[in-house]
Amino acid sequence: MGVISPVIDSHQHVWDLERAHYDWLGPDFGPIDRTVTFDELAPSLVRTGVHATVLVESADNIEDTQVMFDTAARHRTVAAIVAYVPLDDPDEVARQLSQLTSSSLTVGVRNLIHNRADPDWLLRPEVDAGLALVEEAGLALDVVSVLPRHLELIPILSERHPRLRMVIDHLSKPPIGLEPDHPWWGLLADAAKNPSVHAKVSGLYGATPNEGSWTVDQVRPYFAHALQLFGPKRLMYGSDWPISITAGGYDRVWDGLNSLFSDLDAADRDEIMGATCARFYQIDPDRIRVAVDTSLSAHR
């Protein structure tokens, strides 16, 4: 058997409504307004050949982070965790980071800035102090960018924190089906000027009126734009599961994105499908090896 290039899903969630509060969930989310566990995802990972995943925070509370760590303890396919820390409370950030960084699972942090009324929240002085601590700890920052203003913050943060690695979740929700002169095109280009800024090819159905109606042809020009700006070594595949259940499910998203990636040569495809993620998040190689072995054993 030749050397395997690990396939890593860079953006996957779980949540437990009995253990943590998810104030954004509700009846509007239909099939995912419930507890969702890794057991439900596992068969899709086997079918698609995904070896490892990165669990990303789903709520701004420590209970959600604990749900992720408990999930990783039960499922060796989870190679890394993007946790929550209260960025607007530097003292608490310092305390929690001292605990979180004791585990090699912790590779980054995220706050749900898109649910906050103030689009400039990341620029607040107390948040800036929290980001400095994340930068010093060597962890990455996931930026849930959904507004043009969120994208405008990336260059500002790049100047303030030159050693802070940032990844733009979901390509900042491209304006799929919206006006062709949307500011997303230029703002993404500005954000990409910093070589430390990466982006996730995930969640690319959010701007369509019906999330399940997206097509590969609709998504293609936005992916092509991102590929031109970032290159394959700064882009990473992510399923956005279980949010993607509302867009047709794991396998439909996998098939669609793979159709986009099929035009790339093997080396570039390997970057987007796993190598970029492993390198950007600085995932523990031993955890990736364990995840690959676990995945391979599931096929035997």
Domain harbouring 239, CATH code: 3.20.20.140
In this predicted model, what pLDDT tens digit does every residue of 177-189 receive, in sequence order? 777 789 999 999 9
CA distance 109 to 55: 11
Can you tell me which residue has the tokens 């290039």? 5
Cα angle: 285, vertex 294, 258; to 5 degrees: 80
Can you give the residue range of the structural domain that contains 170? 8-290
Mean pLDDT on 115-144: 98
Q: Are 68 and 103 in contact (CB under 8 A)?
A: no
177, part of any domain:
yes
pLDDT in tens, 222-237: 999 999 999 999 999 9
Question: What span, in angstroms and rounded, lies between the C-alpha atoms of 166 and 271?
Answer: 17
**Residue 299 in domain:** no
Predicted TM-score of the model (pTM):
0.96
Q: Print burial letters for 93-125: b (CB count within 10 Å at least 16), e (below 16).
A: beebbeebeeeebbbbbbbebbeeeebebbeee
Question: Tens digits of per-residue pLDDT, 139-166?
Answer: 999 999 999 999 999 999 999 999 999 9
Say if 220 falls within a structural domain: yes
Residue 191 falls inside a structural domain: yes
For residue 295, being part of any structural domain is answered with no
Question: Is residue 296 one of the residues assigned to a domain?
Answer: no
In a domain, 186, yes or no: yes
Q: Is 300 inside any structural domain?
A: no
Q: What is the pLDDT of residue 4?
A: 77
Number of domains in the chain: 1
145-154, 211-220, 285-294: which has the minimum mean pLDDT?
A: 211-220
